[in-house]
Amino acid sequence: MASPDRNPWRRFLALPNTSRTKTLVVAFLVSAICAVLVSGATVLLRPIKAANRAAEEQARIAALVRGVPGMAELLERAGGTLSTVVIDLDTGRAATGVTPDTLEATLADAANWTALETGEDVAGIGHRPDFAQIYLLREGETVSLVLLPVAGQGYNGQIEAILALRGDMNTIAGIAVTGHAETPGLGARIEEPAWQAGWPGKLLRDEAGTLRFAVARGSATSIHEVDGITGATRTSTAMTRMVRFWLGPRGYGPLVEAIRRGEF
């Protein structure tokens, strides 16, 4: 009489295909292998996706700057590049010990985020990073253009954009929406060049220094307003609140004042 096979794998393979044990084990193995492959692909592709997103943002920044009247000449005189600075939002000064290369790791630490109280969180973001990367263009010692990343809660999700300001820190030079989840054909129009073209030249504050910027419910009626988007009142309101928060005291307010005083 032949001795029984002591190899468990061969004994398993010898089971009939109708065996419930064999079916469950095979299903588990296939699922496990697929999970490993998917996880591995995610890890391998993450740097590529991050690089692609960074490249897309840089392309939007370049397009935004090129669309500002007179900026091509200023860039040429400045050597064709914007300077990049990480600022401490609480002080409005260049951050100490945090660089563009270390910013992502810094913001991965929850200790470097500030919880916002309901009354001050007009943008609906919940928490604000303590540090932000901005872009500057100088003409001699004078700041002539500032690009500020901003974000706020829209109708369907977070809206991300880059707001460009002239050196007076009161005149909008342009805006580029870099991410959103708004409704196609309605709120999603915030990414259309035709709508964004209405932003340059608008003023943030009145002569008394009060922040007046708003996306109107209909057509703009003042130098502080941008035309609203028909059928997308909540998205329009979100854009208003986003700009007002980030240009206020809990956002870039301290930086704005430092630049206006010539101290940055």
* pLDDT tens, N- to C-terminus, the chain (264 residues): 455 556 776 776 677 777 777 787 777 878 888 877 777 766 676 666 655 665 666 666 666 666 555 556 656 655 556 788 999 999 999 999 999 989 999 999 999 999 999 889 999 999 999 999 999 888 878 888 899 999 999 999 999 999 999 999 999 988 888 889 999 999 999 999 899 989 999 999 999 999 999 999 889 999 999 999 989 999 999 999 999 999 999 999 999 999 998 888
Angle (CA) 107 110 114, round 5°:
90
> CA-CA distance, 6 to 22, in Å (whole number)?
18
The whole model's pTM is what?
0.75
Helix or strand or coil: residue 218?
Answer: coil
Kindly give the residue spans of alpha helices, DSSP state H, lying in 97-232.
103-107, 193-196
